[in-house]
Structure 1
Amino acid sequence: MLTTPTPSGAESIKNFSGVVQESHNIGLGFKTAGQIEKIYVKEGDYVKKGQLIAQLDHTDYQLGVQALEIQCKQLEDEVKRTEALYRSKSISINDYEKAQAGLQQLKVQLQVNRNKLAYTRLYASTDGYIQSVNFAPSEMVDAGTPVINLLDMHSMEVETELPAEVYQLRSRFQRITCELPSAKGEDIPLKILSITPKADGNQLYQLKLTFQKKNDLRLSAGMNVNVRIHIAGTDSLRTSFTLPLHALIQSQEETYVWVMNDDSTVNKRKVHCSGIDEKGRAIITAGLKGDEQIIKAGVNALQENEKVRVIHTDNKTNVGGLI
């Protein structure tokens, strides 16, 4: 029985270990300084966007707003009286405009204090899980200090590292998939987010990937996955071929195959086998041109220059060769 070499440079698959990561780790802090009055969440809690998660003591801020509201109300009454005087031409336009400008400035100050009062309440900026709570009630915090760390779970990412020889082939990446530990044999499609152009101390390049479809409920941050990168081949790379393993014969620590000639005789040819591909076929990197007819059955019963007869498979519509 015969077979022909199959080019193996058409596509290659590289496997790497990857880790699932959350897309962002957000440090949430108050926009104003103060003393923490209440924290409404704990580590591991799931929160939704806009949910109240912590609060400062707002007593002083509330008093500041009330004081400015009283001043603003009083000044509004004065501006109304000033306007009446201006319409009766009892005061100049300059005095009237000064009164209006003073009222506007006071309203701006009132809004600033109202904003500060609102800043004493801390809300979740997105859906996610509380990773850490960095302070406790009664502690003082400055503006911008991260009080709570939030894991943004809207989109998950996969991080892996590439050796230099794979990084150099990045322009030929056809598709990238990953396999979850809980779903052996199921490939989940990924797309590239970024590839770090600088190698680290181990000469590895960091590759970040994201899932093409909506997050799978089986995913969690820190999970290990198997990343598969399918790399397209080029014509210049198609110098290797694959053959069934049983087409090879070993003799004196060398590898050979039987090649059938046009006159139905066979000759033993030395080849170089570099390994086995993911389909269990031998990878031949030297000794073949690609157009040979290789014996794949009966290899152990042949002699050099022996004339052979090829066993043909019966046609499906002519079982037993009766026609």
Structure 2
Amino acid sequence: MMVFRNAPFARWTGVLLAASLLAACQESGPDPFAEAEAKLHAEPRPAKIFEVSDQIGMIERRFAGRVAAVQTVDLSFQVPGKLLELPVLESQQVKKGDVIARLDTTDYDRAVRQATINLDQARRELDRLETLRDRSVISQSAYDEQKNTYDLAAESLKEARQNLEYTTLRAPFDGIVSVRLIDNFTTVSVATPVVRVHDLSEVQVDINVAEALFGRVTASEVASIEAKFPAYADRLFPLEYREHSSQVDEVTQTYRITLAMPREGVEQLFPGMTASVIVKLQPHGLALGERFLVPSAAVVADGNGKAFVWKYEEGSGEGGGPGIGKVTRQPVEIDTVMGDFIPVASGLESGDEIVSAGAAYLSDGQTVRRMN
């Protein structure tokens, strides 16, 4: 039996034996680093997805607006008198020609009868003098004087009839009675407002635009104008330009711009209601309909310097399921960078989905998981 009496040598022998056993275990067991790397490649890579749209990248401006009538008129009589009929009610819709109010016609009926009698008398006298003139009994000047009297009587009758017609106040257009300004049976004078009528043939919205923006933006840069109304929740309504003021408000230094939309379907909008107007402006130098704006991080270049993006198609990747898809390389033609966006002239269509972040780390056909 051999006994090692040298202690240091015995300790080194033990260390070497333990190392050999550990190496053997490592060679036969799984590699944790390799497993982690394989697992990373097996799972879909998270990717931020961007939907291509011709609205992306536009400058959006919001304005507080107010609904206005096409025109507002205070209706009044052209002759004085006592008000006998006021059949309309506030908020009542009226048609052009509808009766708004009537005056007592007693005095005006009398004036028509008197003017008619005067005209008949003047006519008979003119006929008599015409016969005498033909017989050379009177001079031509005497006949002409009576002819003038007859003409004046005819004008008086025409005026009396016109005044009688003025005793009935009618709606000048289709609209709505906003407010009654006097009570029935009131004695009114000429031009005394009786009712206020709004022309609601369309819905108009007025906004005030600061002079700095008003003087800088051109019509070609306005991509869209839409409005939201509290009465219709988040529904958006397209607006069209009608007119603008050419005189600045001395207090606010703003210009009034009038926009309009059809009234069909929004009959509950009345003058004075508020609106939120959203104006989208196309960035300067970017023609409408010619290019799409995509995030700068979405565009990468290959070894030849050719630009491309990763087009995402949901449901095409391995494993399927919501939010899982495959990416494919899509060559694009780009223009000059505009801030955080790059104009794409060709290669994409509205509605396409592309990867907008981490594009440099993807490969063709790779499965990714949407992270919006």
> Normalization by structure 2: what TM-score?
0.61
Preserved CA contact (<8 Å) 1:20 1:219: no
The change in CA–CA distance for 1:118 and 1:185 in structure 2 (over 3 A counts) is closer
1:224 aligned partner: 274
CA distance in 1, matches of 2:254, 2:275: 18
Which of 178, 183, 187 is the aligned partner of 2:227?
A: 178
What's the CA shift for 1:165?
A: 4.2
Residue 296 of structure 1: aligned partner: 357
**What secondary structure, in the 3-state scheme, does the structure 2 residue paired with 1:41 have?**
coil
| 1:180/1:100 CA distance change after superposition, 3 Å | same
Q: What residue in structure 2 maps to residue 190 of structure 1?
A: 240
Task: Quote the residue 1:64 is aligned against.
Answer: 111
Q: In the superposition, relative to structure 1, how do residues 312 and 3 fare at CA in structure 2: closer, same or farther (>3 Å)?
A: farther
Equivalent pairs counted in the alignment come to: 268
Match of 2:364 among 307, 312, 318: 312
Deviations 1:102-136 (A, max 9, x none): 10111111111111111111111111111111112
The whole-number CA distance in structure 2 between the counterparts of 1:312 and 1:2 is 16
Deviation digits for residues 166-198 of structure 1 (CA, Å, limit 9, x no counterpart): 323331334322244526354423224214541
Contact 1:22-1:153 at 8 Å conserved across structures: yes
Q: 1:157 maps to which residue?
A: 204
Whether contact under 8 Å (1:55, 1:121) holds in the other structure is yes
- 1:76 aligned onto 2:119: no
Identity of aligned residues (%): 21
RMSD: 3.8
1:206 aligns with 2:253: no
TM-score, reference length from structure 1: 0.69
Give the SS at the match of 1:170.
coil
Distance 1:15 1:53 in 2: 40
Q: Give ranges in structure 1 of 5+ residues lacking alignment.
A: 248-256, 265-283, 299-307, 315-323
2:98 is equivalent to residue 48 of structure 1: no
Aligned pair 1:128/2:178, yes or no? no
Looking at structure 1, the residues matched to 237 and 90 of structure 2 have their Cα atoms a distance apart, in angstroms, of 33
State the 1:227 CA deviation.
1.5
Residue 91 of structure 1 corresponds to which residue in structure 2? 138
Counterpart AA for 1:60? D
Indicate the residue corresponding to 1:277 in structure 2.
none
Pair 1:262–1:94, CA change in 2 (3 A):
same
CA distance in 2, matches of 1:66, 1:310: 99
Tell me which residue corresponds to 1:13.
60
Q: CA contact under 8 A between 1:20 and 1:159: conserved in structure 2?
A: yes
Shift of the alpha carbon at 1:67? 1.1
Give the strand-richer structure, 1 or 2: 1
Q: 1:290 to 1:52 in 2, by over 3 A?
A: closer
Q: How does 1:201-280 map to 2 (within 5 A)?
A: 201-211=251-261, 213=262, 215-218=264-267, 220-221=269-270, 222-235=272-285, 243=295
Counterpart CA distance in 1 for 2:304 and 2:87 is: 87
| Distance 1:110-1:10 versus aligned 2 partners, 3 A rule | same
